[in-house]
Amino acid sequence: MTEPLVLVEKLDHVARIQLNRPHVLNALNMQLIRQLVEVLEECDQDEQIRVMIITGNEKAFAAGADIKEMVDASPVDLMVKRYLSDWLRIRQISKPLIAAVSGFALGGGCELAMCCDLIIASESARFGQPEINIGVMPGAGGTQRLTRAVGKVKAMEMILTGKSITAQEALDYGLVNRVVPVEDLDKEALALAQEIASKPPLAVRLAKQSILKALDLSLEDGLHFEQNNFCMLFATEDQREGMQAFVEKRKPTFRGR
Ligand code: CAA
């Protein structure tokens, strides 16, 4: 039997999803991305799960799209196979995604981390968009998400030189949330996931949606979008529970309803 390309472990309200092609530094072939997206979509539907963690291994989160799969491709092949279309499905996931990154997060690996809502890096993490060195450029969101994350001049430097940055530089640039010792990565990612999982899931979901809209909309439209989501939460049981618990000076219990 062939090994699954992603391994899934569900711990209470958190799903830990591990990329599993270690012999090629988790190079992201189409099959792996398809399996990852299917697992994410399944977790998004699973009422038990509130947060998903995507991780790799100590040597690599992922060293990019699978170059061997692309080396002989023509533009028509890429279009016919809808080569990058599964990547767009990650954007539709409504629950928070945390990337827990050790080792290489290059090319599509860096782009996958940036598809996530929060990034925890270990001290060994290296982020970069080296596609320029193999005759192409980022194709799974790198020019867009890296620029939004670190600003134009740093994105230009990283993408045009192909040089990677350390975890500490990624922290200084605002690309990652925090840097932790390698041995603590799993524990820290899980603690963050559990903290978010303890919050009211529908409020978390609409807050995520609203923050992502801030990157797309004008301030005027974004403020309207936020107001609508805020008002909508007053239709939830968790709003009543959260505010009632505050008034009664007790801890709320959120059910995601
Ligand atoms: N695709 C396919 N195979 C890859 C790979 C990739 N992106 N990255 C690593 N591998 C494979 C290597 O071919 C090697 O396999 P073999 O043992 O069969 O030769 C194995 O993984 C181990 O890699 P190395 O021997 O190269 O390991 P290293 O420690 O010496 O170097 C590295 C590590 C610097 C990350 C180097 O592997 C590397 O430069 N990888 C490619 C990085 C890259 O260019 N990524 C961008 C891909 S394009 C992309 O992502 C496009 C997009 O935006 C969608």
Q: What is the pLDDT of residues 139-197, one digit of tens each?
A: 999 999 999 999 999 999 999 999 999 999 999 999 999 999 999 999 999 999 999 99
CATH topology of domain 201-248: Lyase 2-enoyl-coa Hydratase; Chain  A, domain 2 (1.10.12)
The protein residue with its alpha carbon nearest to ligand 1, atom 14, reads 24
- Average pLDDT of span 239-244: 98
Atom of ligand 1 nearest to the CA of 134: 44
- 129 falls in which pLDDT band (50, 70, 90)? very high
Tell me if domain 6-198 and domain 201-248 are identical in fold. no
The question of ipTM being above 0.85 is answered as yes
CA of 24 to the centre of ligand 1 (A): 7
Rounded distance between C-alpha atoms, residue 7 and residue 89, angstroms: 19
Supply angle C-alpha 124, 184, 16, rounded to 5.
95
Domain ranges of the chain: 6-198, 201-248
Query: HSE-up of 191 (CA within 13 Å, CB side)?
Result: 8
Tell me, in angstroms, the distance from the centre of ligand 1 to residue 39's CA.
Answer: 24
Kindly give the distance from the C-alpha atom of residue 27 to the centroid of ligand 1, in angstroms, as a whole number: 7
Q: Whole-model pTM above 0.90? A: yes
pLDDT given for residue 1 in this prediction: 65
Residue of minimum CA distance from atom 42 in ligand 1: 63
The residues assigned a catalytic role are 65, 108, 111, 131
Of the pLDDT bands very low, low, confident and very high (cuts 50, 70, 90), residue 3 is confident
**Mean residue pLDDT across the chain:** 97
Residue 101 and residue 121 in contact, taking contact as beta carbons nearer than 8 Å: yes
Is 22 near ligand 1, meaning CB less than 6 Å away?
A: no
Pick the CATH number of 6-198 from 3.40.50.620, 3.90.226.10, 3.40.50.300, 3.40.950.10: 3.90.226.10
